[in-house]
Structure 1
Amino acid sequence: MANKQLIIDADMSVEHKVMGLLACIAQEKKSEMERLLKPSGLSILQLSILHSLSFAPKKTLTVSDLKATLVDDNPNVSRTLNKLVEAGLVTKLRSEQDQRTVYVSITDAGEKAHTDADQLLLNQRIDLPENEMNALYEILKKL
C-alpha cells in the first residue's frame, strides 16, 4: 500500500498533495477491487463490459458503443471481449448490413457473473459520515 503519510508530510503545495493522495487512493481501491474480484475470475475491465451490457437496451451494444460506455479508455477491449466469448459470458454477432459492425450481447451466464461480482464489490464501504461523503462527492464532481 502507498504510504500516504509521506505525501501528507511532504513540503509541497496542497494542490500537489491532493493529486498525490487521489492517485494513492485510486491505486489502493483498484488493487482492492482486483483482490475482491479474483475468486470470480473476472478482471475490472471484464466486469465493466458485463455491467455496460447488462444495463444496455436489449442487453446488446455495438463494439464502438460499448467502448464509449467504459470509464477507462482501454486498448484491450477486443481481446477482453474474446475472452468473455470463450467463457460463454457474451456473444458477438457481425451485422449483415455492415460487416464492420459487431454486436455484443450478454448471456444468462454473463448476467449471473455480473450480478455475483457486483455483490462482491458493493459490500465495500467508505467509512465517512453521510455529510462528509456528500461533501466529498460534490468536490470530486468538480475535478
Structure 2
Amino acid sequence: MPNKQLIINSQSLSTEQKVVSLLGCVAHEHKTEMEALVSRHGLSLLQLEILHCLDQAPQEELSVGQLKSKLIDDSPNVSRTLNLLVGRGLVTKRRCTEDQRTVYIAITPAGHDAHERSDKELSSMKTALSSAEIKQLYTLLQKF
C-alpha cells in the first residue's frame, strides 16, 4: 500500500502533482480491494466486467467485437479470459454461420448468478466520505 503521507508532506511536488499522485494511490488501493472481493467468487475484475456487459446487454448475445467496445479497460486478454469463462460454464461461445470470423458470446444462468453475487460483494465497499463529499468528488471526477 502506498504511503500517501509521503506525497501529502512532499515539499517538491506542486498541489496538482500531489492530487494526481494521490488519485493514483487511491485508485490502486480500491482496485486491490475490489480484486480481493471478487476473487472470493473465483473471478477477476475483467471476468466480472465481461459478465456485467453480457448481463446488461439488450440482446441475448454480443459479438466479441461488440463486447470489447463495451469494456472499460482495453485489455489484450479478452479472448483468453472468455475461454476461461467458457471453461467454467459462465458464458457460451457460438460461431456465426454466415461469417466464421465472428464469434458470439452469451451469459449462462451460472454466469448471471456469479455476476450478481460479485456485484453484491462490491456494493459493500464504502468510503469514509459524507454524502455531500461523495457528490462533490463525483462532480470533480467527471472533469477528468
Shorter-normalised TM range: over 0.9
Offset, 1:97: 1.0
Q: Give the Cα separation in 1 of the matches to 2:32 and 2:43.
A: 14
Identity %: 53
| 1:1-143 matches, cutoff 5 A | 1-11=1-11, 12-143=13-144
AA in 1 matched with 2:43:
L
Task: Flag structure 1 segments of 5+ consecutive residues without an equivalent.
Answer: none
Instruction: Identify the structure with the greater helix proportion.
Output: 1
Q: Tell me, what secondary structure is at the counterpart of 2:73? A: coil
> Would you identify which runs of 4 or more consecutive aligned residues in structure 1 move more than 6 Å?
none
AA in 2 matched with 1:13:
S
Q: Tell me, what secondary structure is at the counterpart of 2:62? A: strand
Offset, 1:127: 2.0
Task: Flag structure 2 segments of 5+ consecutive residues without an equivalent.
Answer: none
TM-score (norm 1): 0.97
Offset, 1:59: 3.2
1:34-87 deviation digits (Å, cap 9, x = unpaired): 111122000000000000000001331110110111111100000000000000
Indicate the RMSD between aligned Cα atoms, in angstroms.
0.8
AA in 1 matched with 2:70:
T
